[in-house]
Structure 1
Amino acid sequence: MDQAQGFTPQPLPPWHRAVLKVGSSLLTTPDGALTEVHAQALASFVARSRDAGREVVIVSSGAVAAGRGLARPDRSTGLPGRQALAALGQTRLVALWQGLLSVPVAQVLLTHDDLRHRRRYLNARATLRELLALGTVPVVNENDTVAVDELKLGDNDNLAAIVAALVDADVLLIASDVAGLFTADPRTDAQARPVQDIPALATSSFATAGGAGSKAGTGGMRTKLEAATKAAAAGIETVLFDGRDPACVARLAAGTLTGTRLRAPQSRMAARKYWLRHTPPIGRVLVDAGAAQALQTRGASLLPGGVVGAEGEFTRGDVIEIGDGQTVFARGIAQYAASDVRRIARLHTRDIEAVLGYSYGETVVHRDDLVTLGTEP
């Protein structure tokens, strides 16, 4: 059956920031060489989205496949060989995206260690946020050259979900070589029917997914559903669409999806607030009356000038309480350790680096990492 048929156009979920995952099969020819054939439409989607005031982070596979087209066939087997291929192909991959976009492209290579270690996680998030603020398009890939686990099946699908949570994306867009999710594998089952919308991911959904999708890639529909599950846990919706179909991609740029929409059980902000409210705090930051009012009524970030002290011992990335000495009214993620907070308390943000010798930014707790405590769940 024609996979493009049967999917009824539907609105994309509202979004300002998205992560776009692009698989190897969309960027390489059968012999492994990089090609712009499908990337052109996807780059146009990114450009049109940026023109509309939106932000896009690209998670792009293709480095190993691109490197394979440059190496001697007898020297590209085994894990060391694949890691070498990633090193060869990564520069070509970034060059491809830069050639298709008129704004600067920034290469960001991550491993799971970067995302499991809390301080490195926060550093990666701060870097990606700053790159977006600078008007660039970050192109994220796994650092396959030095990481072993990252060459496993479909890992970039899951990496995309992690990056979506990392940058507080509103939606995860997965460009694939199929039109969306089907009741069976449409390549082998003529009775396969498209699945338009999944209100909440269930285990039964995985039964419709197959294994690896293509020779060039490392993942299939199952890993995409796993990624959607991770994104949903963070309150982020996922959409699957055919990245080979320029008309489908053009409709996407106009706010219309022709593919599968996998909904999250709650909004991104609700998921984040729930997590902050129910995560045991490690310590406490005390603030003055002006900071307390700004945090509770104006949705402000906590700056060092409003801090009067810190209780307990916490590290950067820990969840802490915020109070005024009498009432605890907020929780948030600390950008500085307790010892640092005590040293920069009451100071202007411009003095942070002079006092500490380094700076993780001007906020003690950023407003995106802060929730005020009330009666809501």
Structure 2
Amino acid sequence: MKNRQWKRVVLKVGSSLIAPDRKGCSSRYLLHIAKFILQCRDLEIQVILVSSGSVAAGAHFFGNIEKPTVAIKKAMAAAGQNEMMASWNRFFDFPSAQILLTHGDLQDKERYDSIRETIFALLEHGILPVINENDTVTTDALKVGDNDNLSAMVAAAADADALIICSDVDGLYDKNPHTCKDATMIKEVCNIDEAIYAMAGGAMEDGVGTGGMQTKIEAAEKATSHGIRTYIVNGFKESSFELLMNGTNPGTVFTAYDLPMQENLHWMTHTSKAQGELVIESNFDHPIDEHSEQFTSDEIVEVRGNFSEGDIILVSTEDGKHFAKAKANYSSSLLNFITTQEGDEDSNEFRHQTGPIISDENIAVLEQEEQWETDT
């Protein structure tokens, strides 16, 4: 195998592969995926499985409900998760472990580090981590929403060498291959830009899963910036995994950054969710990544949202440019007091005695303008 340089791989398998007919789990497409996992382990390549499918696997327990409520979907996930784990376990003669996550777990740095430690401990003892979003308890504010992006966050947390995302098509096409006969597959992507995103569509209307090519590209962008080579392959074809084992790209490969982002900055940029926003002067011209000690309350125009000391916030200019995510050294309440008491003697003294609002080691400068979601 030419991919012996892989030491750790994250494999993402979607609902349509687990339960294609929403009538419980099926081995129809899982046999060749399980074989690939076994072959990797035989070559001492550690595998982490990110597996969707709990809702689809549990749907048949609830009859033919055309439009299930949120509560019913959560119940389907609870019932289907056991069935999904049992389905995977029957293929293997080694132990597996279930890890259910929410975005709330990943965006809290202490819990994020705890997840890393758990994954490493499982792998060290030869146990297969099987990870899924915890659909039973998650809320809109705490959910990742799709397992493509979850798999990229897991790959970053686990310091993986490769991320393999299974799709229902062979890879990324310049047009929708389901509707355009002249669609051409892109074999390699070296830079994920607007043109690449323009090729992606949403989830198929009649599909079982929640993701589409859009979320797969988002996942690839997260993973490659951490130095993780990312593949989109057709999970329905056994040949996809045979080619991977032979070191051949069966779909679309996204090349990894030559200089990956530091772990803390990657987490801040791609995993954490901004709890609020600082708006600063548009003419702020300091190189904020190198001299952020100069960034004080004097430059603040507006404080948006409610956040505490230590929360991740978005930093924007008055003209709407989003250029950084950072760890706040002060709460929104304190910053609001400082900025709204202009001219007050005590406030002015405090403004000049306090340290920086953010510190240079706790800021991630955005390479391109992003519309980061906040909880405001």
Q: Same fold (TM over 0.5)?
A: yes
Higher mean C-alpha deviation, range 67-76 or range 208-217 = 67-76
Listed one character per residue, the Cα deviations across residues 110-151 of structure 1 (whole Å, up to 9, x for unaligned) are: 111110111111111111110000101110001100002389
TM-aligned CA distance change 1:62 to 1:197, over 3 Å: same
TM-aligned CA distance change 1:279 to 1:133, over 3 Å: farther
Output the amino acid matched with 2:243: R
How many percent identity over aligned positions? 40
Which of the numbers 7, 11, 14 marks the counterpart of 1:23?
14
Q: Residue 256 of structure 1: CA displacement? A: 2.0
Aligned counterparts of 2:217 and 2:66: Cα–Cα separation in 1:
34
Q: Residue 226 of structure 1: CA displacement? A: 0.6
Which of the numbers 96, 103, 111 marks the counterpart of 2:87?
96
SS in 2 for 1:141: strand
8 Å contact kept, 2:2–2:246: no
Output the amino acid matched with 1:255: G
Aligned counterparts of 1:66 and 1:131: Cα–Cα separation in 2:
25
Alignment pair present for 1:52 and 2:68: no
TM-aligned CA distance change 1:215 to 1:32, over 3 Å: farther
The equivalences for 1:233-244 within 5 A come to 233-244=225-236
Q: Residue 257 of structure 1: CA displacement? A: 1.9
8 Å contact kept, 2:4–2:43: no
Unaligned runs of 5+ in 1: 1-9, 281-314, 316-377
Output the amino acid matched with 1:144: D
Alignment-derived partner of residue 190 in structure 2:
199
Listed one character per residue, the Cα deviations across residues 202-252 of structure 1 (whole Å, up to 9, x for unaligned) are: 121011111103521001111100111111221212101111111221221
SS in 2 for 1:69: helix
SS in 1 for 2:12: strand
Alignment-derived partner of residue 39 in structure 1:
30
Alignment-derived partner of residue 248 in structure 1:
240
8 Å contact kept, 2:103–2:143: no
TM-aligned CA distance change 1:127 to 1:60, over 3 Å: same
Output the amino acid matched with 1:147: T
Output the amino acid matched with 2:219: A
TM-score by length of 1: 0.67
Which of the numbers 63, 67, 88 marks the counterpart of 2:54?
63
Output the amino acid matched with 2:9: A
TM-aligned CA distance change 1:122 to 1:206, over 3 Å: same
TM-aligned CA distance change 1:196 to 1:13, over 3 Å: farther
8 Å contact kept, 2:170–2:233: yes
Unaligned runs of 5+ in 2: 268-288, 292-309, 311-376
Query: What is the number of equivalent residue pairs in this alignment?
Result: 272
SS in 2 for 1:226: helix
Aligned counterparts of 2:76 and 2:259: Cα–Cα separation in 1:
40
8 Å contact kept, 2:9–2:161: yes
The equivalences for 1:1-377 within 5 A come to 14-74=5-65, 77-149=68-140, 155-213=146-204, 215-268=207-260, 271-272=262-263
8 Å contact kept, 1:157–1:219: yes
Output the amino acid matched with 2:231: V
SS in 1 for 2:10: strand
TM-aligned CA distance change 1:197 to 1:75, over 3 Å: closer
Q: Residue 153 of structure 1: CA displacement? A: 8.6
8 Å contact kept, 1:180–1:259: yes
SS in 1 for 2:210: coil
Q: Could you list the runs of 4 or more consecutive aligned residues of structure 1 that deviate by over 6 angstroms after TM superposition?
A: 150-153, 273-276
Output the amino acid matched with 1:264: A
Q: Residue 75 of structure 1: CA displacement? A: 9.4
Q: Residue 14 of structure 1: CA displacement? A: 3.7
Q: Residue 78 of structure 1: CA displacement? A: 1.4
Aligned counterparts of 2:126 and 2:183: Cα–Cα separation in 1:
42
8 Å contact kept, 2:144–2:150: no
TM-score by length of 2: 0.67
Output the amino acid matched with 2:99: V
